[in-house]
Amino acid sequence: MAQYAHLPVYVKTYDFAKYTYILVRQFRREYKFTLGTELQGIIWQVLDAIIQANSLAGADKRKGICKISLLFDRFKIRLRFAYEIGLVTDRKFAFAQRMMEEIGRMIGGWQKWAGR
Q: Structural domain tally of the chain?
A: 1
Q: What is the pLDDT of residue 116?
A: 78
Closest to 68 measured CA to CA, from 17, 94, 103: 103
Closest to 39 measured CA to CA, from 10, 71, 64, 1: 71
Q: Which domain holds residue 96?
A: 2-115
Pinpoint the alpha helices (H) of the chain. 8-25, 29-32, 35-54, 58-84, 90-115
Q: How far apart are CA 90 and CA 70, in angstroms?
A: 25
Q: What is the pLDDT of residue 115?
A: 83
Model-level pTM? 0.93
* Mean pLDDT per 10-residue section of the chain, whose length is 116 residues: 82 98 97 98 98 93 97 98 98 98 97 88
CATH of the domain at 68: 1.20.1440.60
Q: What is the pLDDT of residue 27?
A: 98
Q: What are phi and psi of 31, to 5 degrees?
A: -110, -20
Q: Are 69 and 100 in contact (CB under 8 A)?
A: no
